[in-house]
């Protein structure tokens, strides 16, 4: 008897394990369902990207002779939920089993583990083998370690894959070139113009659908230029390797007003939906270094994001869920300010990042970590609200990758499981790495008062509010010694400025 094979919207890989042993008579189910499109208020462009990529993938499967049952969002009989769409598909003919690849979110996996009882049918939940490091391999690395430091995990991945290795030693005799990758962008260096993909007829249909079905959704639906096929995603990767990668290393932490992409790859959305293979991406980048077309600091920094960081956060997510997202080590509880959605703020750096996010469903990692993430950390915003925002607004965001990056790195809500100290910074960091302070309504050189940069007094207010929680962190000992030398008048001014600012933006307790 045939199998019903479910392919989820972020499993658009020809090599996906759920399709590995497809035979004639099997049926592949793919469904656009309102439940997944709306459980957080996803960016309109994110929804369009996923639906269009799904439709193109289904078309390629059908072109290869496979039987596909594709349920569109606006199909009259669409029930709006994955489970009920599986039920409808099971009613079309007799199946002897349901086959699927493990989803990337804990809530889905937990529900699917009960489907065998629900449908009175065997359900095979297969390992997602599109990652370089299996979850079992990550757990084997993590077991018995006091600290799960990404750098040491990354080195093991380098050794196991042989990427950027010369025998037992790293290429260049150095594992990590992060210190070389923190330059601000020179005024006379112009980032390359992006080579976007023109939407085809199928994508235009999806854009029209999203505009009709989600008229009030956050974010700009158009212009739309993301790749929605594996071939076009690979072309986008090649464009980056030749046009962005040579300068990526030096300026990967830089920010520039109204320049969303700089020298970044913008391929995370393709990796996370399955259009690109992470190991192949790393091998391609390594080849660019070996050919002499990009420097080692750039190539190593790019590969570290994929081979190291991406694999690491996935391991953290699955090792510590479901309790991970319940952690709130700093007891942060203020609501998310409205300007995370509207961009209506006098802080030029925050306004630019939120505007960029609205336009593109994208912002690069420093914008996420050190602007919107840093502000949320300093202001003590409720981690759940911040997590929901990041999950909603970025086209590359799925819970397995979003949660550790936001909850652990940006917010320190996991209490230091991932980071050895909070990634807290004052306005001086933003001024060093961007040009936003020059046109800001606030003065980055002022520490207190109505015209002072809010990041300046919020930084110290954060340390004051969290003294009891953080005073034992050895990496903050010098900073707390500086705080202890401040006069009562100074600390009172910090608290007063902070409370006045919280009241002004509507998040005062």
Domain with residue 22: its CATH number is 3.40.50.620
For 136-196, the three-class secondary structure string (H helix, E strand, C coil) is: HHHHHHHCCCCCCCHHHHHHHHHHHHCCCEECCEEHHHCCCCHHHCCCCCCCCCCCCCCCC
CB 27 within 8 Å of CB 5: yes
Question: Are 156 and 105 in the same domain?
Answer: no
Q: What is the chain's mean pLDDT, rounded?
A: 96
Domain boundary among 255, 290, 320: 320
User: Confidence band (pLDDT; 50, 70, 90) for 274?
Assistant: very high
**pLDDT tens track for 130-141:** 999 999 999 999
At residue 181, does pLDDT exceed 90? Answer: no
Backbone φ and ψ for 34, nearest 5 degrees, come out as: -60, -35
Question: Are 437 and 381 in the same domain?
Answer: yes
Question: Are 178 and 289 in the same domain?
Answer: yes
Question: Are 139 and 122 in the same domain?
Answer: no
Structural domain including 177 reads 135-192+244-320
Indicate whether 222 belongs to any domain: no
Question: Are 19 and 85 in the same domain?
Answer: yes
Provide the CATH number for the domain around residue 389.
Answer: 1.10.579.10
- Measured from the Cβ of residue 7, the count of other Cβ atoms closer than 10 Å reads 25
Q: How many H-runs (helices) and E-runs (strands) does the chain carry? A: 25, 7
CB 368 within 8 Å of CB 410: yes
Domain boundary among 97, 126, 155: 126
At residue 363, does pLDDT exceed 80? Answer: yes
Indicate whether 448 belongs to any domain: yes
Nearest to 279 by CA among 397, 163, 159: 163
What does the alpha-carbon distance between residue 431 and residue 410 come to, in Å, rounded to a whole number? 19
Indicate whether 328 belongs to any domain: no
Tokens of 16: 């996906």
Tokens of 203: 């994508």
Tokens of 95: 């199946």
What does the alpha-carbon distance between residue 83 and residue 76 come to, in Å, rounded to a whole number? 17
Question: Are 73 and 109 in the same domain?
Answer: yes
User: Confidence band (pLDDT; 50, 70, 90) for 38?
Assistant: confident
What does the alpha-carbon distance between residue 63 and residue 231 come to, in Å, rounded to a whole number? 15
User: Confidence band (pLDDT; 50, 70, 90) for 313?
Assistant: very high
Nearest to 48 by CA among 215, 249, 208: 208
What does the alpha-carbon distance between residue 381 and residue 326 come to, in Å, rounded to a whole number? 15
CB proximity list for 13: less than 8 A, separation 6 or greater: 130, 230, 274, 275, 277
What does the alpha-carbon distance between residue 75 and residue 9 come to, in Å, rounded to a whole number? 17
Nearest to 57 by CA among 232, 264, 265, 284: 232
Indicate whether 248 belongs to any domain: yes
* Count of domains for the chain: 3
> To which H or E segment does residue 99 belong?
strand 97-101
At residue 509, does pLDDT exceed 80? Answer: no
Question: Are 465 and 398 in the same domain?
Answer: yes
Question: Are 250 and 387 in the same domain?
Answer: no
At residue 18, does pLDDT exceed 90? Answer: yes
**pLDDT tens track for 222-267:** 999 999 999 999 999 999 999 999 999 999 999 999 999 999 999 9
Indicate whether 54 belongs to any domain: yes
Question: Are 314 and 410 in the same domain?
Answer: no
Question: Are 306 and 178 in the same domain?
Answer: yes
Tokens of 92: 């079309």
Indicate whether 329 belongs to any domain: no
Question: Are 27 and 99 in the same domain?
Answer: yes
Domain boundary among 262, 293, 320: 320
Question: Are 72 and 14 in the same domain?
Answer: yes
Tokens of 192: 């390359």
Could you give the dihedral angle defined by the CA atoms of residues 49, 55, 56 and 59, in that order, rounded to the nearest 10 degrees?
Answer: 180
pLDDT at 39: 82
- What share of the chain in percent tops pLDDT 90? 96
Q: How many angstroms from the chain centroid is the CA of residue 210? A: 22
Provide the CATH number for the domain around residue 299.
Answer: 1.25.40.80
**pLDDT tens track for 91-123:** 999 999 999 999 999 999 999 999 999 999 999
Indicate whether 493 belongs to any domain: yes
Buried b (16+ CB within 10 A) or exposed e, 129-142: ebbbbebebbeebb
Tokens of 125: 């939940």
User: Confidence band (pLDDT; 50, 70, 90) for 1?
Assistant: confident
Indicate whether 211 belongs to any domain: no
């Amino acid at each position: 008897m045939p199998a019903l094979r479910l392919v989820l919207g972020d499993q658009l890989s020809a090599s996906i394990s759920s399709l590995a042993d497809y035979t004639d008579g099997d049926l592949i189910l793919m469904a656009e369902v309102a439940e997944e499109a709306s459980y957080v208020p996803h960016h309109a462009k994110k929804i369009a990207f996923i639906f269009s990529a799904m439709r193109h993938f289904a078309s390629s499967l059908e072109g290869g002779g496979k039987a596909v049952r594709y349920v569109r969002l606006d199909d009259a009989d669409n029930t709006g939920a994955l489970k009920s769409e599986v039920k409808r598909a099971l009613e079309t003919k007799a199946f002897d089993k349901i086959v699927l690849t493990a989803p990337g979110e804990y809530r889905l996996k937990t529900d699917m583990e009960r489907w065998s009882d629900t449908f009175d049918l065997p359900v095979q939940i297969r390992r997602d083998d599109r990652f370089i490091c299996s979850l079992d391999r990550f757990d084997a690395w993590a077991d018995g370690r006091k600290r799960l430091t990404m750098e040491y995990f990354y080195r093991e991945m380098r050794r196991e894959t042989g990427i950027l290795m010369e025998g037992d030693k790293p290429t260049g005799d150095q594992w990590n070139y992060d210190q070389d990758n923190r330059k601000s962008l020179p005024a006379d260096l112009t980032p390359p113009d992006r080579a976007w993909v023109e939407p085809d007829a199928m994508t235009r249909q999806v854009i029209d659908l999203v505009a009709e079905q989600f008229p009030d959704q956050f974010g700009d639906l158009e212009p739309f230029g993301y790749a929605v096929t594996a071939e076009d995603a690979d072309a986008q990767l090649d464009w980056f390797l030749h046009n962005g990668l040579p300068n990526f290393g030096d300026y990967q932490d830089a920010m520039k007003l109204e320049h969303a992409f700089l020298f970044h790859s913008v391929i995370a959305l393709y990796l996370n939906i399955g259009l690109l293979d992470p190991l192949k991406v790393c091998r391609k980048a390594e080849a660019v270094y070996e050919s002499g077309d990009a420097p080692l600091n750039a190539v190593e920094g790019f590969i570290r994001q994929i081979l190291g960081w991406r694999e690491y956060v996935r391991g953290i997510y699955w090792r510590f869920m479901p309790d991970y997202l319940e952690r709130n080590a700093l007891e942060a509880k203020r609501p998310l300010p409205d300007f995370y959605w509207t961009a209506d703020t006098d802080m030029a750096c925050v306004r630019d990042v939120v505007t960029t996010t609205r336009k593109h469903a994208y912002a690069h990692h420093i914008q996420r970590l050190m602007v919107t993430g840093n502000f949320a950390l300093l202001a003590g915003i409720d981690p759940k609200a911040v997590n929901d925002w990041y999950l909603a607004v970025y086209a590359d965001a799925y819970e397995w990758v979003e949660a550790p990056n936001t909850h652990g790195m940006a917010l320190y809500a996991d209490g230091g499981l991932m980071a050895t100290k909070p990634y807290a910074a004052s306005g001086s960091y933003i001024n060093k790495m961007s040009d936003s302070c020059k046109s800001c309504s606030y003065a980055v050189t002022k520490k207190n008062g109505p015209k002072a940069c809010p990041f300046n007094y919020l930084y110290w207010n954060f340390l004051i509010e969290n003294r009891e929680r953080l005073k034992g962190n050895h990496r903050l000992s010098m900073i707390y010694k500086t705080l202890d030398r401040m006069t009562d008048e100074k600390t009172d001014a910090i608290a007063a400025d902070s409370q006045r600012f919280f009241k002004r933006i509507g998040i005062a307790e």
